[in-house]
Amino acid sequence: MSRCYMQLALADRRRLHQLVAAKVPVNEMARQLGRHRSTIYREIKRNTFHDRELPDYNGYYSTVANDIAQDRRRRLRKLRRHPTLRTEIINQLEARWSPEQIAGRLLSDGLSRIRVCKETIYRFIYSKEDYGLGLYQYLPEARRKRRAMRSRKPRDGAFPATHRISQRPDFVGDRSRFGHWEGDLLIFERPLGHANITTLVERKSRYTVLIKNPSRHSRPIMDKIIRAFSPLPAFARQSFTLNRGTEFAGFRALEEGIGACSWFCDPSAPWQKGTVENTNKRIRRFLPGTTDLAVVSQRDLLHLTRHVNDQPRKCLGYRTPTEVFMAHLHEDR
């Protein structure tokens, strides 16, 4: 598949309609169309025809799906053609309604002739013509701050091709294997200083380790990881999958210090280490970006780690990460 994404054409949707009618698995649909399976899931979910009065006619139809997709691209212009709808959305944003709430309310009120999805409202808020209205200030803080930040991505030379995730052995990516970790860096608002937190998650058990760092310098971060993982047996710390931030440029120290291999995700591909990204969302409930780490000690992070690791998880059969991690430690020994 080409690295440059292209929209599905009518011919693609006709082929997809045939595959859906034949009840072909989504992975096979994606293979035949040369697309990622998430593209197929999204296409079927967003462009399936629904009729409340005639539910027997619900389904995915190629021409109808193509019309729905084209109509979605025209919705931003709809907001310009319907000043009443535009004014209503602005008033609801000023009343602190989220785009999801606005789009859901329009749908529930039965305004099918002017259906607007949340993505359209976001594009309306951040479009060049409407940015001067300052509508972004009524969004939640995480959505409001979309200004460019200084990149933490070093040149490709810092991470050789031999350590790219595409070169990672298949058994490392197998979530049924124990001892393979994913890592990331939690950063906080710049005026609060350079302190940050390294997040490390064991992929199978979801066991989490948090390490506080005074800066983003790579070697001190690597040294702390080595000290934290040295007590573990070798089978419990076989590899680390990391992003391409400068803080992990000294990754060779991990192999020299504890014998662990390091692999690096592709640029702008956080889903390749989805376990740690999901964990970061959990940690942000307790440590939002406005947290001043000067008043947070490593002991505080240890208490938070215990709290996260002692919560039952559905993906673990409602066992806790600590229980699963310790079970594998004793079993493999």
Mean pLDDT score across all residues of the chain? 84
Residues 102 and 128 in one domain: yes
Query: Which helix (DSSP H) or strand (DSSP E) does residue 220 occupy?
Result: helix 218-229
Residues 216 and 310 in one domain: yes
Which domain-ending residue is among 137, 152, 173?
137
Would 145 be classed as within a structural domain?
Answer: no
Residues 294 and 196 in one domain: yes
HSE, CB side, 13 Å, CA atoms: give it for residue 239. Answer: 23
**Contact call for residues 171 and 177 (beta carbons, < 8 A):** yes
CATH number at residue 172: 3.30.420.10
pLDDT tier at 280, thresholds 50, 70, 90: very high
Cα 286 to chain centroid distance, Å, stands at 19
Cα 240 to chain centroid distance, Å, stands at 18
Which domain-ending residue is among 137, 153, 185?
137
**Exposed, middle or buried: residue 6 (CB in 10 Å: 0-12, 13-18, 19+)?**
exposed
pLDDT for residue 148 is more than 50: no
pLDDT digits (tens, 9 = 90+) for 230-250: 999 999 999 999 998 889 999
Please report the pLDDT score of residue 124 as a whole number: 78
Please report the pLDDT score of residue 112 as a whole number: 46
Q: Which residues lie below 8 Å from residue 152, measured CB to CB, with a gap of 6+?
A: 185, 187, 216, 245, 246, 247
Residues 277 and 233 in one domain: yes
Please report the pLDDT score of residue 3 as a whole number: 44
Would 2 be classed as within a structural domain?
Answer: no
Q: What is the pTM of this model?
A: 0.56
Beta-bridge partners for 202: 181
> Mean pLDDT lowest for which of 145-149, 230-234, 251-255?
145-149
pLDDT for residue 115 is more than 90: no
Please give the average per-residue pLDDT across 78-106, as a whole number. 80
Residues 228 and 245 in one domain: yes
Would 149 be classed as within a structural domain?
Answer: no
pLDDT tier at 267, thresholds 50, 70, 90: confident
Would 150 be classed as within a structural domain?
Answer: no
pLDDT tier at 152, thresholds 50, 70, 90: low
pLDDT for residue 316 is more than 70: yes
Residues 186 and 117 in one domain: no
Please give the average per-residue pLDDT across 317-326, as a whole number. 94
Residues 95 and 172 in one domain: no
Would 148 be classed as within a structural domain?
Answer: no
Would 68 be classed as within a structural domain?
Answer: yes
Please report the pLDDT score of residue 128 as a whole number: 59
The boundaries of the domain holding residue 317 are 161-332
Query: What would you report as the CA-atom Rg of the chain, rounded to the nearest whole angstrom?
Result: 24
Residues 216 and 167 in one domain: yes
pLDDT digits (tens, 9 = 90+) for 24-46: 999 999 999 888 888 899 899 88
Residues 178 and 298 in one domain: yes
Please count the structural domains in the chain: 3
Residues 66 and 91 in one domain: no
Please give the average per-residue pLDDT across 272-278, as a whole number. 93
Pick the most confident of 73-87, 126-140, 313-327.
Answer: 313-327
**β-strands 208-213, 196-202: how paired?**
antiparallel
Would 151 be classed as within a structural domain?
Answer: no
Q: Which residues lie below 8 Å from residue 60, measured CB to CB, with a gap of 6+?
A: 16, 17, 20, 44, 47, 48, 49
Which domain-ending residue is among 122, 137, 152?
137
pLDDT tier at 154, thresholds 50, 70, 90: low
Residues 62 and 178 in one domain: no
What is the rounded distance in angstroms from the CA atom of residue 26 to the CA atom of residue 19? 9
Cα three-residue angle 67-69-73, rounded to 5 degrees: 110
Query: Which helix (DSSP H) or strand (DSSP E) does residue 102 occupy?
Result: helix 99-108
Residues 189 and 295 in one domain: yes
What SS3 state is found at 174?
Answer: coil
Please report the pLDDT score of residue 53 as a whole number: 81
pLDDT for residue 292 is more than 90: yes
How many C-beta atoms lie closer than 10 Å to residue 34's C-beta? 10
Would 127 be classed as within a structural domain?
Answer: yes
What is the rounded distance in angstroms from the CA atom of residue 204 to the CA atom of residue 227? 22
